[in-house]
Each structure stands twice: as C-alpha cells, then as structure tokens.
Amino acid sequence: MSLSLLSLPALSVSPGGEDRYLAAPSQASMPAPLNFTLPPELEASEPPEARGLARDAVRLMVSHYTDDTISHTRFREIGEHLLPGDVLALNISGTLNAALCVLRADGTPLELHLSTHLPGDVWSVELRQPGAHGTTPFGEAVAGETLQLPAGGSATLLTPYATDRLAHPVTSPRLWIATLALPEPLLPYLARYGFPIRYGYVRQAWPSEYYQTVYATEPGSAEMPSAGRAFTGELLAQLEAKGVQIARLILHTGVSSLEEHEPPYEEYYRVPLETAQMVNEARAQGRRVIAVGTTVVRALETVTDAEGVVHPGAGWTDVIVTPERGMHAIDGLLTGLHEPRASHLAMLEALAGRAHLRLAYDAALHERYLWHEFGDLHLILP
C-alpha cells in the first residue's frame, strides 16, 4: 500500500502511513459481504426530528459478539452499555454542501457531487442526473468537457477515477477527476450555492444542519459521518461524567453511492498524537476502544501496526478492512445499518464475525429498524 502524504490546503500533515500497514485487497479477492433483502419501507426517508423524535431518541440495537446476546433500547440509553474507562473515538469531520447544480454545454441539467479534495487541487467528483425519484449516475460524460457551475464557476472533467478498482470493466465511469474554477473560496461558495447530497430514499431536501454531528469542527466530508448523528452535547457530557473518554480524529468521507459496490476510495485522515496515546493506553490497560462509525475504524486501522500500536499520522488512506485483513485497533463499533452487500459489512464482519452479523441483521429486520443516515443505530461490543 502506498499513501500520499501531500496536504490539502490549510491542513497540517505529519508523516503517518508507511509500508508497515497492511495493504488493501483488490475487490476481486474480497469475499461477498453479507446479503439480505432490505424492504423499502425500512429505508429512513427523513430525519428523526421530522418523525417527532429528538436526535438521541432513535433506536439502538446492542449486540455482543462474544456471546451473541442482542438487546434493543433507545440511543439516549447508550451510557448503560458503556463502562468507565471506555474510549469513544469520534470523527469530527463536518459535512459540506457538496452537491451543486451544473449544466452541460448542451444545456442538460445535472448534479455535481464533490467527493474528495485530492493533492494537486483536483477533486474526485460524481455526476448524477435528477429524476422523479432522486438522482441516478450520469454515464454520458466525456473527458475534457467543462460544466457550468452557479455564479460563473466551472468544473472540467479530466479523466475517469479509479476504474481499475472495479471488479469488472465499465463503459461509463461514475467518478471523475476534475478541476474547479470558482468565483470565491470553496467553503463560502458551497455555503451559498451548494446543498447536502441526498439519494432517492430521502424524498425531500433538508437544511444542512440535519447533516451535521453536534461535535463536528472541521468541514471536509462529502457526506455525513452519520454513526454519531444521534449524540447530543448533553449526552456526551453525561458519558464523560461517567468516565467514558472521548478521542477525536479526522476522516473526510467521500461519496458513498457505490452502485457498483466498489470498495471505498482514498480519503484524507488525521489521527492526532493525543488520540493515539489515549487508544494505546486503553488497550494496554485492557479497557475497550469503541469507534463511532466505520470512518473512525478506517482512520485508526491506517495508523495501527501489526502489533496493535496506534501511531499519530495524517495522509491518504486506501485501507479496506476485511475479515482476511483483520482488525487491530478497536474492540467495539457504533454504526448505522448498512445496505445489502455494502463493503462496510465486511468491516463489521472483521470485528464480529459473519455468524454474529447475520444474527444481528436478522434481528434488525425483524424489529423493523430503519436504515441509512437518518435511521437507527447498532452498537457492537465484545
């Protein structure tokens, strides 16, 4: 595995991933993740607030992979399942208004989804076509074309992105490498003209604040690191008062609309020294480390060596956690419910095993849990 350590603008980068970290397998070598049938009515179509619930009132399934016990509660009761000394690792990346309306030269209206800001001031982007039931990937783009953005901005498509990582050839690439020409700096431009990325199961637009965790401090994610959405400031304070330690890191997520079930793409991460020390001390003392979201797992696994020691670092990670690769940095995981065959399910299997994961997902389907970023949550513990 190779990691580029070039920094994004305004980000301080220190050496992080080197060859000691395990390489990500190709998709062709990965076993098929868990498959099941997800009824459409279990896809959360609106934020819990629109259903009359507080953020922390979504449902929480707690499953223990050492004895296969499963219980059901509300998220605000998560403290009953955490112990003093547990380390809760959070991704403090904030969600961008990463969707923009664009026009092709022939006047065709599309949505441009900004995925990842790459070294060299280029972006990985996705073009999608609006429709009556959300957007779908747009497959007719060509290299070299320039798209018109609001207020005189433009985006130029340079070359397809990472098509060699797909399990089979494609004639219409979904992601592109592109350059942006904007009339003002990125963040104010997106605040003015952008809007949150959403997919067909979310039936109407929601303000950007619905796509932020309460602890986000550094904008950079195309889509919300949604496993932590249910936390409130009050709940985090209660957990800290109980003795739960809070560790913070960054992983800026790219688009997750992986219609071809591609493995996750390279993403920027930063694991501070304080976080590395907190995790290492907990593991040395036999205390649990619980990641809030698959993004946290990816960041920590990137900087954890074969002996299980976490190192501070920053850069670009292409780590994909699978059962074959193994997991070295965490003991538990708070996560959403992932759709059938999603690559994240392989990560969950690396932690809990296929048999336990099957039991948990059967229980979630039976109990009518809700999926996706506005849905319910799953806490996986030893």
Tokens of 205: 């637009």
Question: Is 135 within a domain?
Answer: yes
Same domain (yes/no): 109, 86: no
Number of structural domains the chain divides into: 2
Question: Is 329 within a domain?
Answer: yes
Residue 262 confidence (pLDDT): 57
Same domain (yes/no): 111, 89: no
- Mean pLDDT, rounded, for 203-217: 95
Q: What is the CATH number of the domain that holds 282?
A: 3.40.1780.10
Same domain (yes/no): 89, 225: yes
- What's the pTM? 0.88
Q: Please give the torsion angle defined by the CA atoms of residues 41, 48, 337 and 191, in that order, rounded to the nearest 10 degrees.
A: 110
Task: List, in order, residues 6 or more apart from 285 with CB less than 8 Å away.
Answer: 85
Same domain (yes/no): 150, 221: no
For residue 165, pLDDT over 70 is answered with no
pLDDT digit string, tens, across residues 217-235: 999 999 999 999 999 999 9
Question: Is 19 within a domain?
Answer: no
pLDDT digit string, tens, across residues 2-52: 333 223 322 222 223 222 223 334 444 556 778 999 999 999 999 999 999
Question: Is 22 within a domain?
Answer: no
Same domain (yes/no): 349, 284: yes
Same domain (yes/no): 154, 252: no
pLDDT digit string, tens, across residues 247-276: 999 999 998 755 455 556 789 999 999 999
Which residues form the domain of 127? 99-193
Question: Is 241 within a domain?
Answer: yes
Same domain (yes/no): 146, 291: no
Measured distance CA(278)–CA(16) in Å, rounded: 17
Same domain (yes/no): 124, 239: no
Which among 193, 228, 257 is the end of a domain?
193
Same domain (yes/no): 107, 91: no
DSSP codes, 75-121:
GGGGGGG--TT-EEEEE-EEEP--EEEEE-TT--EEEEEEEEEETTT
